[in-house]
Amino acid sequence: MGSASSGRLEVLQALRAIAAALVVLLHSFYTYAEKVSPVDPISGVGLHYDLAAFGVKLFFCISGFIIYKSTASLDPGWDSASFFARRRLIRIVPLYWAVTLIYAAKLAMGGDSPTLMDVARSLFFIPFADASGQIRPVLGAGWTLNFEMLFYAVLCASLGLTQKWRFVVVGGAFAALLTARLFDVAPQNYQPGDTAWGLMADSVLLFFLAGMAVASLTQRDNAHGPSAPTFVVGILAMLGILFGFAVPAAVFGLDAIGSPRSIGVTLLEVTVCFALVYVCVKPYVGSGFGAARVVRRSVVAAGDGSYSTYLIHGFVMGPAARVIYELGLNVGPWVFAILMVLLCTVIGVLAYRFFECPMQLRLNEVFGKHKQGESLRSC
């Protein structure tokens, strides 16, 4: 939730921080196994459930809520669609382009330079099969943004209609894509260099719809700042719901790493994401004080920087692992993973404050204004 003055959803920001931490946590195990000690990154650390994949789906659900909610005040028409598109591009593109170009330069210096076509398709969110046949952009983490951009594009197209029809348009478009996948109309196998449009027909689209459903259900709720005790209890409740799902999933083999994902498991994940986001957008009251306020602000800051954390964490973990290996430090995979979550989060917050936020403010002053003077919060 946010304060009454800002209207920010601070508990939802905490959930974003948790989602980013889940991604970093699991990726840290892989980095540890590759660069420090050859331990199995899953069974070797006692994990069975793909927390990173769940963290991404949680991001999609949160995005569905925030983005759909942001369109509630927009009148139907081209002006609103243009305003929405400009603000979304300003929010997503600068950091992603910067990180992608840096990574492409890093690959080039290592003798593994991507083609200009691959870089261009990555920058413009066009999915394709790379030289190894894997469907991913130059910056691997950018695959999620292909789905984000699909969601934005469909929602943007629906802004010519009134609010009550926008959900129908997005839901119908996603249902058509999923139907194409179910009936094998959407291609699933690609040769290197092929444009992989069938990738968009994926069950992760359901998580955007789940977030939109939360926004529809809570549209009339007033958001107030959470009291410090309620804020802490809310975070504990989120963790309880999450691990209350993840642990049984591991015990009963609902979604072991590498196993086929059943429709039942997907629907269970959608339900859990819906519940988590719904809990986080209920109204709370109070502002907190003392140490509790510091914790609250720190967690919210981590949520603010979660996009940066997600895109940048790969740049942090590799060098950190090499330093640990060279120094011969005897740290286990869990210690390494927890340290990486903390370090990547701090760096993500710094990137948000000193790059993302200033860049958004400057670009929005020039390109992000609405004809009616409306504005969506950037920082």
pLDDT tens across 44-68, in order? 666 666 777 888 999 999 999 999 9
Is residue 258 scored above 50 in pLDDT? no
Is residue 246 scored above 70 in pLDDT? no
Q: What mean pLDDT do residues 219-232 have? A: 60
- Residue 376 — very low, low, confident or very high, per pLDDT cuts 50/70/90? very low
- Residue 377 — very low, low, confident or very high, per pLDDT cuts 50/70/90? low
Torsion angle of the four alpha carbons 44, 48, 49, 52, in this order, in degrees rounded to the nearest 10: 10
Residue whose structure tokens are 């760096």: 347
**pLDDT per residue as tens digits for the range 96-153:** 999 999 999 999 998 888 999 999 999 999 999 888 778 889 999 999 999 999 999 9
Dump the DSSP string for 129-174: B-TTS-B--SSGGGHHHHHHHHHHHHHHHHTTS-HHHHHHHHHHHH
pLDDT of residue 247: 64
pLDDT of residue 4: 35
- Torsion sign across C-alpha atoms 320, 321, 323, 327: positive
pLDDT of residue 5: 35
- Residue 288 — very low, low, confident or very high, per pLDDT cuts 50/70/90? low
Least confident of 7-11, 78-82, 194-198, 368-372: 368-372
Cβ distance 123 to 114 under 8 Å? no
- Tell me how far apart the alpha carbons of residues 367 and 108 are, in angstroms, rounded to a whole number: 33
- Tell me how far apart the alpha carbons of residues 277 and 63 are, in angstroms, rounded to a whole number: 10
In order of 10, 21, 196, 223, 329, the CA distances from 292 in angstroms are: 14, 21, 48, 20, 34
- Residue 252 — very low, low, confident or very high, per pLDDT cuts 50/70/90? low
Q: What mean pLDDT do residues 161-169 have? A: 91
Helices (H), the chain: 10-35, 51-70, 78-109, 116-123, 143-158, 163-182, 205-217, 228-251, 263-280, 290-304, 306-327, 333-351, 357-367
Token pair recorded at residue 108: 């080039």
- Tell me how far apart the alpha carbons of residues 368 and 362 are, in angstroms, rounded to a whole number: 9
List, in order, residues 6 or more apart from 139 with CB less than 8 Å away. 96, 99, 100, 103, 104, 122, 311
Q: Which of 48, 109, 102 has its CA nearest to residue 253?
A: 48
- Tell me how far apart the alpha carbons of residues 166 and 177 are, in angstroms, rounded to a whole number: 17
Is residue 159 scored above 90 in pLDDT? yes
